[in-house]
Chains A and B, each alone.
Chain A
């Protein structure tokens, strides 16, 4: 493309001006929360300019929210729920994905359609029956109850995602050991799983964020305060500390920290996971 040097410079200049303005204005709400979390109540009351950086940094909001308000427990609860759910969803879905990627059987496409459709239905279609099932089996208000649910519900997306990846594995890698007499489970475990590590990492990053951020299912399946995750802890805090916004803001930052760090560290994986299905070929 031939562009004069002048036009090139103007284009670049416009890019930086528009880009900076856009990003800055988009992140104002997050900046407000961040600054507010570091302000004292006095400063907050004295100056209504929420978007101004704090004059004096106050870290005690975080300490107080973490220890006294119980954010420490809520974050721990979220970890207890999220980590096994992600691992479980990855392992269970890899079995299904293996079957759908490498075997030709009559219902292959039907099973795939069921998994994809299930991931898109409104959650409300599941609420009452899942609540009822959990109540009847005693899984309600237990961690295994919500973990099993998360694993099951995420199978739709995970199976779809991993199946697409496994389809790209060269078939000779599967066929050669088979001729040598290796069992199918051996091929799954020793060949396909190791080859799928990177795609499972991408999927894991995405699933971690989703399950960490869940609110609705914890609301239904964990109705005891001591079991609640950080999303519900934060929602409850809003009612209790209505005027201490510096504390609520500190709570928000704590609740947002883990997914944000995971995203910043594994950005490439995160995006690869989100765009599956949007890219053709």
Chain B
């Protein structure tokens, strides 16, 4: 390993100068600034900040809108992990066959992954339309009129309607992750287990599951991180005006950019960051561990 690498003190920094400088300006310093801003009161972007300690956080914990955003984010997180992981794995196992056409199925199934949330949100907003939308039309045709709801207009259904769209797009992503690993499960290993008399359930538990563990760690951590990043769907489908569907990301946006409450907005971002941080650590250490084995 060490033989493969140059020992030069200055040269690597010459190559890193440009990327690191850009990363400093647009990523690293902003993160530190947000931490600092969260401790201030500021209603203009440039000047006039006043250090107020943890007052923004105290205010957050008493703010019912923040509680709602936190709760909605929790719903996002639970469904973003709970549905796409098992469903994505199941579909990956189904499509991981050598039949003619399996590739076409996979390709078609990926398509939602390639679309922007702007496109997806626009399409689904129409499907959820209370009068003309496909969902209510189907429900009425099936004589389930009482099931037809104001999906994006009723506080009770809004978040679930948005989460469903997110899940619809996340399942193909998780499937891709699992397919990449399943492809590498050596056929001989499965065959050897079969010869040894292992039934389907045993083969799944003792041969396939251990092979899938690293991909599952990635899929779970990325899904959690993504669920806390969900902003685009909420913005496109509710225009951030439907406050009942607010999540942390959209509440941060409206606090800062609609109400010019920059300190308060930063505090929400910091909370988001703190919740995500543990999962980022899991992902990074997992990645580094895999890297060192190379």
Residue positions of A touching B, CB distance < 8 A: 1, 12, 15-16, 18-20, 22-23, 26-30, 32-33, 36, 44, 48-51, 92-93, 95-96, 98-100, 102-105, 108-109, 111-118, 120-133, 135-136, 148-149, 151-153, 155-156, 159, 164, 167, 171, 184, 188, 209, 212-216, 219-220, 230-232, 234-235, 238-239, 245, 248-249, 251-252, 255-256, 259-260, 262-264, 267, 270-271, 274-275, 277-281
Contact = CB atoms under 8 A, between A and B. Distances in A.
A92 B22 contact: yes
Given A26-B168, A153-B26, A277 B118 contact: no
Nearest to A18: B94
Q: Give the interface size bracket for B toward A.
A: 35 or more
B180 A215 contact: no
Interface string B244-268: 0000110011001100001001101
Interface stretch (B50-58, B75-83, B124-132, B154-162): B124-132
Contact of A280 (B91, B114, B214): B214
Contacts of B71: none
Main SS class of interface, B: helix
Sort A-B residue pairs by CB-CB distance and give the 3 closest, nearest first: A213-B116, A129-B30, A152-B26
Contact of A248 (B108, B126, B191, B253): B126
Given A92-B22, A124-B269, A277-B287, A256 B115 contact: yes
20 contacts: A1-B194, A19-B102, A23-B105, A30-B112, A48-B137, A103-B11, A123-B231, A149-B26, A164-B291, A216-B235, A230-B118, A231-B117, A234-B119, A248-B126, A256-B116, A256-B119, A267-B107, A270-B114, A275-B177, A280-B290
Contact of B110 (A216, A263, A279): A263
A245 B15 CA distance: 51
Interface of B: 2-9, 11-13, 15-16, 18-20, 22-23, 25-31, 33-34, 37, 45-46, 91, 94-95, 97, 99, 101-102, 105, 107-112, 114-127, 132-134, 137, 168, 171-173, 176-177, 179-181, 184, 190-191, 194, 214-215, 218-219, 225, 228-229, 231-232, 235-236, 239, 248-249, 252-253, 256-257, 262, 265-266, 268-270, 272-273, 276, 280, 283-284, 287-288, 290-291, 293-294
A21 B92 CA distance: 15
A252 B122 contact: yes
Contacts of A20: 105
A78 to B, nearest CB: 10
A13 B11 CA distance: 61
B134 A279 contact: no
A20 B287 CA distance: 36
A111 B12 CA distance: 11
Contacts of B15: 95-96, 98-99, 103, 184, 188
A96 B288 contact: no
B54 to A, nearest CB: 18
* Secondary structure type dominating chain A contacts: helix
A155 B45 contact: no
A163 to B, nearest CB: 9
Given A27-B112, A118-B27, 19 more contacts: A23-B105, A50-B126, A105-B7, A120-B284, A123-B231, A124-B252, A155-B19, A155-B27, A164-B291, A184-B11, A215-B117, A219-B235, A235-B118, A235-B121, A235-B235, A248-B122, A256-B116, A260-B111, A279-B214
A128 B293 contact: no
A279 B91 CA distance: 18
A127 B253 contact: yes
Given A98-B15, A111-B20, A125-B269, A116 B284 contact: yes
Given A30-B123, A245-B126, A278-B218, A114 B108 contact: no
Contacts of A15: 94, 97, 99, 102
B16 A264 contact: no
A96 B214 CA distance: 27
A201 B214 CA distance: 26
Given A29-B123, A220-B257, A278-B177, A128 B118 contact: no
Q: Which of A95, A105, A164 has the most CB of B within 10 A?
A: A105
Contacts of B134: 28, 32, 50-51
A128 B34 contact: yes
A48 B137 CA distance: 7
A249 B126 contact: yes
B23 A156 contact: yes
A111 B105 contact: no
Query: Which of B91, B116, B218, B284 lies at the interface centre, i.e. has the most chain A CB atoms within 10 A of its CB?
Result: B116
Given A122-B272, A136-B46, A252 B12 contact: no
Nearest to A14: B94
Contact of B109 (A22, A99, A123): A22
Given A48-B137, A213-B116, A231-B118, A115 B23 contact: yes
A155 B272 CA distance: 22
